[in-house]
Amino acid sequence: MTGQRRALPDPETLAGSVTAKDRAAVATALNLLDDTRPEARRVASQMLATLPEEKLDTEAHLIGITGPPGVGKSSLTAALINVWRRQGKRIGILAVDPSSPLSGGALLGDRLRMMAGEGIADNSVFVRSLANRGAFGGLSAEVWPMSLVMLAAFDIVLIETVGVGQREVDVSKLSDTTVFVAQPASGDSIQFLKAGIMEVPHVLVVNKADIGAAARRMLAELRTTLGHRIDPDGWEIPAVSASATKNIGIEELAETIDAHRQWLLSKGRLADRRRRFQAEWIIRRLLDEFGRFGVAQLGGEDGLFRQLTQRAGSPFDQFDELRDGFLAHLKTSPGT
Amino acid sequence: MDMSVAVKRDKPWLMRTYSGHSSARASNELYRTNLSRGQTGLSVAFDLPTQTGYDSDHPLARGEVGKVGVPISHIGDMELLFDQIPLAKMNTSMTINATAAWLLALYIAVAERQGAKHEELTGTTQNDIIKEYLSRGTYIFPPAESVRLTTDIICYTVNHIPKWNPINICSYHLQEAGATPVQEIAYALSNAMMILDSIKESGQIEEKGFDKVVGRMSFFVNAGIRFIEEMCKMRAFTHLWDRLCVERYGVHDHNLRRFRYGVQVNSLGLTEQQPENNVQRIVLEMLAVTLSKHARARALQLPAWNEALGLPRPWDQQWALRMQQVLAYETDLLEYNDIFEGSPVIAEKVERLVEGADEEVEAVNEHGGMIAAVQNGYVKRELVASHTRRIRAIESGDLKIVGVNCFEQTAPSPLTTGTDSGIMKVDPAAERAQVESLQAFRASRNNDEVGAALDGLAEAARTGQNIMPASIRCAHAGVTTGEWAGRLREVFGEYRAPTGIDITTHDTTPSELVEAIRGRTRRTGEELGRPLRLLLGKPGLDGHSNGAEQIAVKARDCGFEIVYDGIRLTPEQIAKAAQEEGVHMVGLSVLSGSHIELVEDIFDKMRGVGLSDIPIVLGGIIPEEDGRQLKERGIAAVYTPKDIDLNRIMLDMVDIIRTSNGLQPYGALQ
């Protein structure tokens, strides 16, 4: 079976099909964003620029779900999916797993656990597994643009990762709402939070609430440590308990997560957050490519941040513009 | 030898052949033939829909009906299966696990209709769910609910069918999944302890009768080609079980502490290359479990020489039976007491196995006991790691397999060139006939009785009453296998076990060859714009995932990003995953013989999502002729047990991806 070199898609048609919620188009767009060849990068940039801006600013809900390994994130995700499906919502999931540092390969295999139950059968759930591919600059860099494509096609976009301690994919720097999952009788969870390894989440949930006393102790401890605290935006952080396996507290959890989105919208903060994250994503990429020196030449991190958060636009376009500006600057600078 | 003196010989073990196929009627004929040829018990193989609780006309059963065993959808099938075989006199072993309670209920109901008394029934239900999660894959319910069913069967039979062996704790399948002798012993004993503890907790057995429960525990063990070590393994097992019975459960009666076990010798080591060599492998493995009188198997079943090629024919099975008969009746083995007693070499080896097993039992305890260690993936990861080491040793030549990685030159074999290619073929009309007879049966029964019996079943499941009486009532009422399991699925929920491929045993000292493959994988990824992604899928009901797991681990080592979701996927799920995950290739693994039907269906579903240009490769027990046909249909490559060199498969897969994307293939490595 000899094939043809596959042609790159037409960016505008693709953006249109993604917005029209075509699953095949979403898959193609994600492949395109994953593609590191320069010509693919150009097409991807055009495609992102064609996605309707209001969708990217305030529509859909980008949720990050994170927590230490073994706390039951996948089964909790599955239980949440079932709630959202009953509400008639369409869900896109980006599931991030670590790559092998030795071979570059990765094993990705949590699709079915996440879709457990009815979600397998119909087309209301779309899962893309991602390998973090080691260092920043690998695929983890594409989680942000991939989220944008997903936001254009689904009602809820969920990023699932063992985000804690992973510099590469800190979901709390991407999501509208970050959910931190802890499990009873595990000191790790609280340590992670206390140590400030991640940004403070918006919703704390103790899974495996069926374990009983241990779960109640954990919840109490979370509440004293972090719960009822006010995050920098002024949101009072709730701590709730749930059991994915016994299907307890899942609807309440879904409501709590949605309450945070409503709160962001009512305060006019949703678009702000997304622009902030996009600005940070662009700055991280610039740092990765040109280092501190390059970023300083472009006005420094703070200056860039102010500049970027005031403008809308596709992340690739904004990045390319700054990149070209820097390269031009190098050419005209005396002594270089 | 002076033939005039009658020598006292021990009674031989029970001789069985694991069999069943096509339909209850065809299997009944086979059983009656086998019995007339000197077989002394029956060992029933059920097809995958029956094992996983689906009726023959369920969509997931398509292509699987009657393939790896007999389809039993209701009491009519069961009556036909034992037609003219009086159950009061027969010793029947049933390889059945997730649906064991149901098949035992059908067996009891048929026995009742034949007029047999409960206390006359002898036989075995395998009834071991742990190894299903770890290796064999025909589980349905979550661990806690499954163990509850296991417990119910044991308690019911101890109280009502005292001669029945209600459970066969299986270490057999753990060895097939890669377990070392130490792991085999340790996980089997951890499993047995978990079951016995759960029976104690259930409160269904009186305290003073508990030693009888311990006495009904039996085991199903594997015997591999390292036959001295395997023989020592059986002695270590015997020793440890005795100690456990005394120390943990306070059983003082010697008879109730005997380590009773049946054996199927190793299938993992049987080769597709020069398959006639499997005959001497099987014979040597049989010696491991018969030579030592103090640790001798009570029942033995041997695989056929051609298992790696496809389903064995009746003649192949007869040959396997004759091996046992020659050993038992022609040789002098059964005239001696234990011939290893007093050997310091054997004693030392046994001691080392005992120590290793004690340590591993402790490791399982540290992971929370057997159920927790299955759920958190500990045991599965240990098994996958052992298996990976075995495959690497074969690749490097450290582990020698005659005809595979040494002495490969061979004259053409007259055994495999016959008109039927040396394997059994299931009549494709068998599935249609079974479906028609099932539908006729459904139309003929009293639906009110069926509904009431099923409600009773759900009630028992919810309230914790023993599941057996309600199941026997269902059997008589004409409930089907799918209805019985379906109602319990509603109450208990379904489960997916960890795949165990998230092990950390990377090839840390990769050969130049592996480095070269990684280079090709990486460069091809760069040319195509992103790393190579591969979806591995096990379609159908077959749960033998060891091969797929090894490919997954190997492909990761070679730089692929692997999407693998374990067993029992529908063609729709595979096509959907291929689309969502943006993979460059799909790899399928099918061992049940239903590859033609499943592949057709997957092609269809892949076309449906616009992915007909993604190459698909297939691995499994695929007869040569089928392989040719599948390639004509568009399968890019077919791999069978003789493709033991995983590096070559990896090189091949990279080139298939290159070709299908319009890149020049690399070809063989220089």
Contacts A123 to B, Cβ<8 Å: 576
Same domain, residue pair A112 and A24: no
Contacts B659 to A, Cβ<8 Å: 1-3
pLDDT at B43 over 70: yes
* pLDDT tens profile A301-326: 888 888 888 877 778 888 888 888 88
Same domain, residue pair A131 and A236: yes
Determine, for residues A27 and B563 on separate chains, whether the beta-carbon distance falls below 8 Å. Answer: no
User: Quick one: pLDDT band at residue B196, thresholds 50, 70, 90?
Assistant: very high
Determine, for residues B558 and A107 on separate chains, whether the beta-carbon distance falls below 8 Å. Answer: no
* pLDDT tens profile B59-83: 888 888 998 899 999 999 999 999 9
What is residue A122's predicted lDDT score, i.e. its pLDDT?
67
Average pLDDT over residues B521-542: 93
Residue A4 resides in a domain: no
What is residue A136's predicted lDDT score, i.e. its pLDDT?
45
**CB-closest option in A70, A111, A123 to B565:** A111
Same domain, residue pair A155 and A304: no
CA nearest to A247 within chain B:
B493
Average pLDDT over residues B323-330: 96
Determine, for residues B556 and A105 on separate chains, whether the beta-carbon distance falls below 8 Å. Answer: yes
Domain final residue, candidates A214, A249, A267: A267
Query: What letter would DSSP give residue B310?
Result: S
Same domain, residue pair A202 and A292: no
Same domain, residue pair A164 and A98: yes
Residue B14, helix vs strand vs coil: strand
A289 vs B460 pLDDT, higher one: B460
Is B128 catalytic? The answer is no
What's the rounded Cα separation, in Å, for the pair A62 and A50?
20
AA identity, residue A326: F
What would you report as the CA-atom Rg of chain B, rounded to the nearest whole angstrom?
A: 25
What is residue B544's predicted lDDT score, i.e. its pLDDT?
81
Same domain, residue pair A150 and A90: yes
B250 vs A328 pLDDT, higher one: B250
Same domain, residue pair A170 and A260: yes
Residue A253 resides in a domain: yes
Q: How far is CA A229 from CA A122, A200, A286, B445, in A?
A: 40, 10, 34, 64
CB contacts under 8 A, A 96-125 vs B, are 99-100, 102-113, 116, 120-121, 123
User: Quick one: pLDDT band at residue A137, thresholds 50, 70, 90?
Assistant: very low
Same domain, residue pair A31 and A152: no
User: Quick one: pLDDT band at residue B614, thresholds 50, 70, 90?
Assistant: very high
Is B367 catalytic? The answer is no
**By mean pLDDT, which of A3-7, A123-127, A288-292 is the weakest?**
A3-7
pLDDT at B352 over 70: yes
Same domain, residue pair A100 and A144: yes
* pLDDT tens profile A197-237: 556 788 988 887 776 777 777 777 777 766 556 777 788 88
Residue A3 resides in a domain: no
Average pLDDT over residues A227-250: 80
SS3 readout for B488-545: HHHHHCCCCCCCCCCCCCCCCCCCHHHHHHHHHHHHHHHHHCCCCEEEEECECCCCCC
What would you report as the CA-atom Rg of chain A, rounded to the nearest whole angstrom?
A: 20
Determine, for residues B573 and A105 on separate chains, whether the beta-carbon distance falls below 8 Å. Answer: no
Reported ipTM: 0.89
Q: Taking the CA atoms of B26, B27, B29 and B34 in sequence, report the sign of the dihedral they define.
A: positive
Determine, for residues B562 and A108 on separate chains, whether the beta-carbon distance falls below 8 Å. Answer: yes
What is residue B504's predicted lDDT score, i.e. its pLDDT?
55
Q: Taking the CA atoms of A15, A17, A20 and A23 in sequence, report the sign of the dihedral they define.
A: negative
**CB-closest option in A116, A120, A129 to B563:** A129
Domain final residue, candidates A231, A252, A267: A267
* pLDDT tens profile B628-652: 999 999 999 999 988 888 999 999 9
Q: Where in chain B is the domain with CATH 3.20.20.240?
A: 14-332+344-396
Q: Is A44 on the interface with B (CB under 8 A)?
A: no
Give the closest residue to B264 by CA, choosing from B380, B136, B164, B388.
B136
Residue A250, helix vs strand vs coil: helix
Q: Is A185 on the interface with B (CB under 8 A)?
A: no
Contacts B633 to A, Cβ<8 Å: none
**What is the H or E stretch that residue A91 is in?**
strand A91-97
**By mean pLDDT, which of A109-113, A176-180, A265-269, B363-367 is the weakest?**
A109-113
Enumerate residues 6+ apart whose C-beta is below 8 A from B558: A103, A105, B514, B517, B518, B521, B650
What's the rounded Cα separation, in Å, for the pair A181 and A65?
7
Residue A336 resides in a domain: no
* pLDDT tens profile B211-227: 999 999 999 999 999 99
What is residue A309's predicted lDDT score, i.e. its pLDDT?
84
Same domain, residue pair A236 and A315: no
pLDDT at B29 over 80: yes
B405 vs A200 pLDDT, higher one: B405
Mean pLDDT of chain A: 81
Determine, for residues B580 and A131 on separate chains, whether the beta-carbon distance falls below 8 Å. Answer: no
* pLDDT tens profile B295-320: 999 999 899 998 878 778 888 988 99
Contacts A185 to B, Cβ<8 Å: none
SS3 readout for B208-238: HHHHHHHHHEEEEEEECCCHHHHHHHHHHHH
Q: Where in chain B is the domain with CATH 3.40.50.280?
A: 512-660
What's the rounded Cα separation, in Å, for the pair A44 and A36?
10
Is B544 catalytic? The answer is yes
* pLDDT tens profile B120-149: 999 999 999 999 999 888 999 999 999 999
Same domain, residue pair A199 and A151: yes
**Number of domains, chain A:** 3
What's the rounded Cα separation, in Å, for the pair B188 and B183?
8
Q: Is A277 on the interface with B (CB under 8 A)?
A: no
Strands of the sheet containing A203-206, edge to edge, are A125-131, A91-97, A156-161, A61-66, A177-182, A203-206, A239-241
Min Cα distance B48 → chain A (Å) is 21
Contacts B564 to A, Cβ<8 Å: 107-109
What is residue B397's predicted lDDT score, i.e. its pLDDT?
86
Rounded to 5, what percent of chain B is helix, strand, coil? 50, 10, 35
Same domain, residue pair A77 and A161: yes
Average pLDDT over residues A129-143: 66
Domain limits for position A284: 269-331
Residue A2 resides in a domain: no
Q: Which of B491, B563, B659 to mutate to test the interface with A (most CBs of A within 10 A)?
A: B563
DSSP B81-107: HTTT--TTT-EEEEE--TTHHHHHHHH
Class at the top of the CATH hierarchy for domain B14-332+344-396: alpha beta
Strands of the sheet containing B91-95, edge to edge, are B18-19, B42-45, B91-95, B122-125, B164-165
What's the rounded Cα separation, in Å, for the pair B247 and A98?
45
Q: Which residue has the tokens 């806690």?
A: B144
**CB-closest option in A37, A100, A106 to B529:** A37
* pLDDT tens profile A250-293: 999 999 999 999 999 998 889 888 888 888 888 888 887 888 88
Strand partners, B42: B92
**Strand B42-45 relative to strand B585-590, pairing:** unpaired
Is B542 catalytic? The answer is yes
Average pLDDT over residues B520-527: 96
What is residue B394's predicted lDDT score, i.e. its pLDDT?
86
pLDDT at B626 over 50: yes
Residue A308 resides in a domain: yes
Determine whether domain B512-660 maps to CATH 3.40.50.300: no
**By mean pLDDT, which of B4-18, B178-192, B383-397 is the weakest?**
B4-18
Cβ pair B40, B15 in contact under 8 A: yes
Distance of CA A256 to the CA centre of its chain: 19
Cβ pair B81, B72 in contact under 8 A: yes
Residue B306, helix vs strand vs coil: coil
In chain B, % of residues over pLDDT 90: 71
- Domain with residue A107: its CATH number is 3.40.50.300
AA identity, residue B611: L
